[in-house]
């Protein structure tokens, strides 16, 4: 039992650090100067969520959000900082609600089912993150385009990088589980 708890903590720490590294490496595609990029950075959080469930995913996402502050977060107000970083990255971990179904179907070799659950998990985490950024954008950033409503600007701004990030993450996470199922299984 103690070794499983240590493994949990080590994996959360390593995958969180990997998410941060993938976020700051030049392999991400920066779309906006104030933040927002299409990158591989959410993938480690989804892997933790699918390996360890809700607890692992939420913790890893939260830690990644906190680490964003240490690496130059774009904060104009403390509440905006909380929503855009602590909350937005934490909710990625809600993908972990599908962990048991994914692990069960990977073990049984039911590719269609685990593809569906992986996609649903990545979608859930991505949509929740999008809504956090979207809300912060409406309240704290308004509109950068004269005459455009803040809700529309925030929708376009955040959707422009979250939709491609969702697709990229879903494809890569599925590919990883499909090619290395035993490595990615375990824990829950």
Please write the tens of the pLDDT for every residue from 23-74: 888 665 665 555 667 889 999 999 999 999 999 999 999 999 999 888 877 7
Model pTM score: 0.90
Write out the two tokens for 152.
């529309």
> Once rounded to an integer, what is the mean pLDDT over residues 118-140?
94
Mean pLDDT of the chain: 88
Say which residue, 144 or 123, is predicted with more confidence.
Answer: 123
Mean predicted confidence (pLDDT) in 127-143: 88
Q: What is the CATH number of domain 2-184?
A: 1.10.1760.20
* pLDDT given at position 129: 96
Q: Which residues contact 150 (CB under 8 A, 6 or more apart)?
A: 137, 138, 141, 142, 143
């Amino acid at each position: 039992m103690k070794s499983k708890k240590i493994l949990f903590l080590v994996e959360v720490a390593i995958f969180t650090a990997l998410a941060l590294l993938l976020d700051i490496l030049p392999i991400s595609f920066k779309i906006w100067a104030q933040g927002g990029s299409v990158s591989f950075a959410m993938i480690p959080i989804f892997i933790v969520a699918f390996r360890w469930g809700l607890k692992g995913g939420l913790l890893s996402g939260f830690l990644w959000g906190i680490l964003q502050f240490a690496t130059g977060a774009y904060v104009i107000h403390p509440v905006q900082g909380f929503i855009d970083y602590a909350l937005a990255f934490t909710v990625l971990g809600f993908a972990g609600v599908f962990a048991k179904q994914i692990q069960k179907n990977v073990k049984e070799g039911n590719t269609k089912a685990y593809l569906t659950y992986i996609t649903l998990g990545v979608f859930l985490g991505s949509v929740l993150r999008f809504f956090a950024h979207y809300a912060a954008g409406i309240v704290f950033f308004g509109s950068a385009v004269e005459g455009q409503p803040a809700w529309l600007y925030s929708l376009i701004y955040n959707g422009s990088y979250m939709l491609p990030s969702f697709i990229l993450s879903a494809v890569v996470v599925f590919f990883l589980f499909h090619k290395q199922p035993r490595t990615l299984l375990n824990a829950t």
